[in-house]
Amino acid sequence: MSFRYLRRYTGPIQAVIFDWSGTLVDYGSRAPVEGFVRLLERQGISATVEEARRPMGSHKRDHLETMLAMESIARQWNALNGGPPTLADVDRLYAEYIDLQSELVRHYGTLIPGVIETAEPLGARENLVGSTTGYARRIMNNLLPIAEDQGFHPVSVVCADEVPDARPAPWMAITSAMHMGVYPMCSCVKVGDTPYDIESGLNAGMWTVGVALTGNEMGLSEEEVARLSDEELDIRLLRANRKLLQAGAHFVIDDLEELDDVLDEIEERLHDGGQP
């Protein structure tokens, strides 16, 4: 007779780890897009918003390299410079991006509606609030005080330049959990607005929640969303939902105001022995 014993965590959620741009601040995740478009404009290269959004969620240096390899951008670069960008070119451009983005985030630091109303009840649930970001620490040093002045105080903030590999690797999410002293990883929920956010949470062994309306996959400001017809809004939301679900999200919500119900469902699943 042979047996296999399975060890299952059946306790509550211990921590919720949020992305920043498009999830907590910067409705529509516009600051990173503007930063990359402006950066390449300075090099005499025209990049579209769609091109700038495509690698969103990754380390911003990786994001830059991905854009430089895109067909249209690579063609323009080669025509201007006589060949592909060198490592020295990437280093120079990334340093320039850090300077540019550090200033831009000051103008995109408004909390997305519902963030404070979501974060405060998490404390009542005894859930710690962590966060991860594709921004470098120098950029976050400008953004974090703006969020704190509005009442948002995460326990942990982990930046892309503080781990060996950023998203979709799990290290930022795991480091955030480590900073908060939380384990196992299945007691954590990763919340973000890009496929990279979802993949990093899955790779960390966490529950994942995609945010569709306010993030990169919609890519619209709050004012632009308000001007959409009901039909246009439904079409765009369906597309954003599909992309996040295809990345493996366990749940997709429009905005953070819907998160509490999702956390209740996750806790029910954990109590019954469910795993991410």
pLDDT digits (tens, 9 = 90+) for 13-69: 999 999 999 999 999 999 999 999 999 999 999 999 999 999 988 889 999 999 999
Residue 34 near residue 104, CB atoms below 8 Å = yes
Q: Is the pLDDT of residue 121 over 90?
A: no
Cβ atoms of residues 244 and 198 within 8 Å: yes
What are the E-state strand segments in the chain?
Answer: 15-18, 128-133, 156-159, 188-192, 207-211, 251-253
| Residue 3 resides in a domain | no
- Same structural domain, 151 and 244: yes
At residue 117, what is the residue type?
E
- Predicted local confidence at residue 57, as pLDDT: 85
Of 71, 90, 107, the residue at which a domain comes to its end is 107
Asked whether residue 260 is domain-assigned, the answer is yes
Domain end among 107, 136, 163:
107
Look up residue 14 and give its two tokens. Answer: 């211990």
Residue 62 within a domain: yes
Looking at 107, 125, 158, which one is the last position of a domain?
107
Q: Token pair for residue 94?
A: 């990334």
203-252 tens-digit pLDDT: 999 999 999 999 999 999 999 999 999 999 999 999 999 999 999 999 99
Q: What's the pLDDT score for residue 95? A: 95
The domain that holds 189 is classified in CATH as: 3.40.50.1000
Domain with residue 69: its CATH number is 1.10.150.240
Cis-peptide, bond into residue 184, ω within 30° of zero: yes
Q: What is the pLDDT of residue 126?
A: 81
Q: How wide is the angle at C-alpha 32 spanned by C-alphas 27 and 35, nearest 5°?
A: 130
* Enzyme catalytic residues: 19, 60
Domain count, the chain: 2
Percent of all residues in the chain with a pLDDT value above 70, rounded to a whole number: 100
CA pair distance 270, 276, nearest whole angstrom: 9
Mean pLDDT value across the chain? 95
Q: Cα(21)–Cα(215) distance, rounded to whole angstroms?
A: 7
* Same domain assignment for residues 81 and 199: no
pLDDT score at 201: 98
**Residue 6: pLDDT over 90:** no
Which pLDDT score is estimated for 262? 97
**In percent, how much of the chain has pLDDT > 90?**
92
How many other CB atoms are found less than 10 A from the CB of residue 238? 11
Range of the domain at 36: 31-107
What is the band of 2 on the pLDDT scale with cuts at 50, 70, 90?
confident
The values of phi and psi at residue 241, to 5°, are -60, -45
Do 146 and 265 lie in one domain? The reply is yes
Q: Within 10 Å of residue 101's Cβ, how many Cβ atoms? A: 24
Q: Which two tokens stand for residue 57?
A: 């969620």
Residue 124 reports pLDDT greater than 80: no
Spatial distance between the Cα atoms of 269 and 276, rounded to a whole number of angstroms: 9
Closest CA to 103 of 34, 169, 23, 20: 34
Three-state SS for 103-152 is HHHHHCCCECCCHHHHHHHHHHCCCEEEEEECCCHHHHHHHHHHHHHCCC
Average pLDDT over residues 94-115: 94
